[in-house]
Amino acid sequence: MQAWQTQDFSTAAGDWLPDGKLISPGGEVKVSELQPVIADYAKHFRNLQVTIQRAILSQDGKTATIVWDWDVTRMRDGKRGITHDAIIVDFEGNKIKTWHEYFDLGNSVDANP
């Protein structure tokens, strides 16, 4: 969350395995590519605020489920919008192996930078 809000993946890089990946409706991104993806996002959007609605850790600690909303302003026209997001995180040891995001960009300002 902080990495997206600050547009600096280095704050989260230590939480990921070197071969970790983020999978979302937009595609699959290797952990090594996350900083450029965040930087590109920041070219189009500002004032990102994330609100965690729910976080659940599995009993064995290998999976987490996070429900959050992100509220952002599109820079080209100043339109503000909220995207509802559900995330499943798989851990290997105490590091993130995969981060699966589930959201609908249909009415989101994010769908059309």
63-74 and 45-57 beta bridge pairing: antiparallel
CA 77 to chain centre: 23
How far is 13 from 31, CA to CA, in rounded Å? 8
The phi-psi region of residue 8 (left if phi > 0; otherwise alpha if psi is between -120 and 50; otherwise beta) is beta
Q: What is the pTM of this model?
A: 0.87
Q: How many CA atoms are closer than 13 Å to the CA of 54, on its beta-carbon side?
A: 8
User: Own/partner pairs for 62-66, CB < 8 Å, 24+ apart?
Assistant: 62/90, 62/91, 63/88, 63/89, 63/90, 63/91, 64/88, 64/89, 64/91, 65/89
Residue 98: the pLDDT is 98
Q: Assess whether pLDDT exceeds 80 at residue 106.
A: no
Domains and CATH numbers, the chain: 2-105 (3.10.450.50)
Residue 113: the pLDDT is 79
pLDDT in tens, 61-99: 999 999 999 899 999 999 999 999 999 999 999 999 999
pLDDT in tens, 4-62: 788 888 889 999 999 999 999 889 999 999 999 888 989 999 999 999 999 999 999 99
